[in-house]
Each structure stands twice: as structure tokens, then as C-alpha cells.
Amino acid sequence: MSVPLAPSFTYRTIDTGTVRINCAVGGEGPPLLLLHGYPQTHLIWHEVAPRLAADHTVVLTDLRGYGDSDKPAPGPDDAEYAKRAMAADQLAVMAALGFDRFAVAGHDRGGRVGHRLALDAPDAVSALAVLDIVPTRYTFQHADKDFGLGYYHWFFLAAGNGIPERLIGGDPEFWITARMNARHHGGTAFAPEAVAEYVRCFADPAAIAASCADYRAAAGIDLVHDDADVAAGRRVRAPLLALWGRHSFVGRTYDVLAAWREYADDVSGAALPADHYLPEEAPRLVADALREFFRVR
């Protein structure tokens, strides 16, 4: 099977000292880090990254626990999958590639990692784009019946006692394809080769366990870190672009820009004609919006 990423991108594995992170690098120009969400890998950017590589050195990674990156076993408090730990991985990757300051774009979980990276390493992040999310702390503070039904997987994946791991492990392909197809609204269809890669990676029981720990951390240790930031007055200083799907739960439910302005100083953004998976559903529009945003930073 051919991996649907332009051949101009080269793959390497970077040892951060804690985990080994799978990444692909292509293009020339100012560095730009692209982070994927759940349940994908770096390949969610397969249509966007080549477009951005005309103006940037583009780095795509698999987050720890996902894709072909390491998947450390979760501990009692899931600190291994705190967004702070996942953001530190990405900072180490970029440092290993020779970049001490760079732009970041993250979809879904990757946006949450990008948010934490911008808070923990403000001198490293020149600009941040977040795709189809509002801050984790904001979502939990505004959770209601619609959120519980629309984002039920946040609670299912965070359940303990091995319940989600056992159930997803029984048919990971069904779980992946059902989740993705339920959150797609027209636009570009998912590339079968990319979906096959998501399923291949997610069929690993360690990936399932890691992704559940990612969601448990979001409902636990991440909120501790977020509350501490708010109490200390720490906000995202870098310019922040929010893009969201007009048909997504986020787009239908929140005033996205108002939500982000509670956590960041310089916020802009817009809705795109898509559901949740913007880089795959609307790759040209995403690439154009990111290119324009990062061009002026």
C-alpha cells in the first residue's frame, strides 16, 4: 500500500529522550509543525502538507500514542498522556530538527497539544492555528446534554476498568470508520489509503490504550494544568487562528472565537464548509487559510 504523502517528504524517527516520535519533513522556508487528531495519524494532512511546503519547512508528526510513534503504558494518573508531556515531545522534535521557534497547526487532539505547547513554550511558538476545537477547560465547563450526546466518546474513552479498550479492541476498524463517517459532511471523501493506515495503526492494542489515556488525561491532569494557568493569568500570547466546520458539533454549538478569546490575546478565524475533519474534507480551503495566516506572522 502506498502511503498518500508526497514523495518529497522524508521520514525519520526522533528520539526525544522519553519517546521516539515518527515524523515526516518536506519543503523549504519558515518551520511549520502540523499535529493530527483522533483517531488519525499525521496522514490527515496528506492533501494540505504539500500545499504548505511551497512556503514552509513542514514537519508532520504522529503524537505519542498514535501512528508509528512510541506508546508508553499509561500510569495511574495518565500523566504520560497529559498534553504537557505530548507538547514537550513536539518541542524536542523541532529542536532536534534545528528549529527553536516555529508555527503550529493542530486539528482536534493536536490542537489541544498545540494549545499546551503555546502556553508552556511561548518563546518557541510564533503562531498557532487550531482546527475544530474550543479549549478543553471551556468544553467541560459548558458540558450539557447536547455535549454528552454529540461528544459521548469523550466520556466513553475516559472510562476506567479497561472498558473502552476491550470494546474497541473487538473491532477497531468498525470504531474508526464509524467515528469518521459520522462526522463528515460533503467535501472531499476520505482517502481509502489514509483510512487503511489509521486502521492499521489503531489495531495495535497499545494505541487503543494510549488514546484512552489521552482522553482520561483531558478529563483529569490536563484540567489541573489548565486551572493553574487560568489562576496565574497565563494565556496564549501568539496570534491564534481558529478554523471550524460549519456543520460540526463545534460549529453548531459554540461561539468559537469568543471561547478562544477567553484563553488567548490575539484571535481570528472562520467557519469552513465541512464537518469535523477539515484537513481531509476541505484541504484546499484549509491550506489557503493557513498559508495566509502564517505568511503574515
CB pairs under 8 A, 24+ apart, for 93-100? Answer: 93/14, 93/16, 93/21, 93/23, 93/33, 93/59, 93/61, 94/31, 94/33, 94/59, 94/124, 96/14, 96/16, 97/14, 97/25, 97/31, 97/59, 99/31, 99/57, 99/59, 100/124
- Among 56, 115, 184, 276, which one carries the catalytic annotation? 276
Sign, CA dihedral 214-119-32-136, equals positive
Q: Sheet containing 240-245: which strands, arranged edge to edge?
A: 10-15, 20-26, 57-61, 31-35, 102-107, 125-131, 240-245, 267-272
- Considering only CA atoms, give the Rg of the chain: 17
Annotated catalytic residue 115: no
Kindly report the number of other CB atoms within 10 A of residue 17's CB atom: 10
SS3 of 131, please? strand
Residue 253: burial class (beta carbons within 10 Å; 0-12, 13-18, 19+) = middle
Annotated catalytic residue 132: no
What DSSP character marks residue 212? H
Alpha helices in the chain (DSSP H): 49-52, 83-96, 109-120, 136-141, 145-150, 152-158, 163-170, 172-181, 192-202, 205-218, 221-232, 249-253, 256-261, 278-281, 283-295
- Among 62, 70, 108, 226, which one carries the catalytic annotation? 108
Catalytic residue numbers, as ranges: 108, 276
